[in-house]
Amino acid sequence: MSAAPSPRAARSRDGIPDATVARLPVYLRALLAYSERGTATVSSEELAAAAGVNSAKLRKDLSYLGSYGTRGVGYDVAYLVYQISRELGLTQDWACVIVGVGSLGHALANYGGFSSRGFRIVALVDADPARVGVTLAGVVVNPIEDLESIIAARAVTIGVIATPGLAAQEVCDRLVAAGVTSILNFAPVVLSVPDGVDVRKVDLSVELQILAFHAQRRSLREAEPATAKSRRAPAMVGGVTP
């Protein structure tokens, strides 16, 4: 495979669909697992299975990066890791601030997976005086009053909101006013932001409710009497289903 993208690939990268962008981190995670096992090449079928998509969709997604694999060989794992990492902006460091160091913020601050993906937690901020001055994962918690000066001094590009819902919009407004245009929101509210600001919402309670819905449906199906199931089966007329 050539490291130089074709003109067609360069044009494609200008308009990668959002759905494809959402799947790229999944492909990257699967590829890193292959890399850790010492696998040099992987077929589209193998990678698609590891990522939970069909192989046609995977090949289409990777074509936006200019990566078409080699027939009979597959994809070069190391090169594809580089391609996806570059497309996602992971070949550079991103300075992040976490606002709110309660239980969730505390866990995020101690998560080691951020740094290995190029995201540096350069500051922690909280409104509770009892938490100010505490050190988490080598970073000292600062007072919320210092938020704007911290963003400027440490060149923060990504803000992570882990505050209670009532405080989230005000924190968001301050982040945006200070020049932060990428926000990851863990608070249970929908944030209002101006054009040009990207917000990704992570609501764990919503995800749990969706899982509960599907679990309940499965339980109801399993508990349904056999007679009720038979009533739903299509009637047979003269040995032929109508």
The whole-number pLDDT of residue 235 equals 52
Token pair in block for residue 42: 């992987």
Give the residue from 71, 47, 66, 42 showing the smallest Cα distance to 58.
47
pLDDT of residue 239: 47
What are the pLDDT digits (tens) for 177-235?
Answer: 999 999 999 999 999 999 999 999 998 888 899 999 989 999 888 887 755 555 655 55
For the chain, domains (ranges, CATH) are: 18-87 (1.10.10.10), 94-204 (3.40.50.720)
Gap between the Cα atoms of 119 and 102, Å rounded: 20
Which pLDDT score, from 0 to 100, does residue 1 have? Answer: 38
Provide mean pLDDT across the span 99-113.
Answer: 93
Q: Position of tokens 């929101």?
A: 185
Q: What are the distances in angstroms from CA 235 to CA 89, 166, 188, 229, 241?
A: 58, 56, 49, 12, 6
What are 14's two structure tokens? 């200008």
Which tokens hold the place of 99? 């606002």
The pLDDT of residue 99 is: 98
Q: Which of 129, 125, 121 is nearest to 148 (CA)?
A: 125
Q: 207 vs 50, 79, 188, 212, 214, CA distance in Å?
A: 22, 34, 12, 9, 11
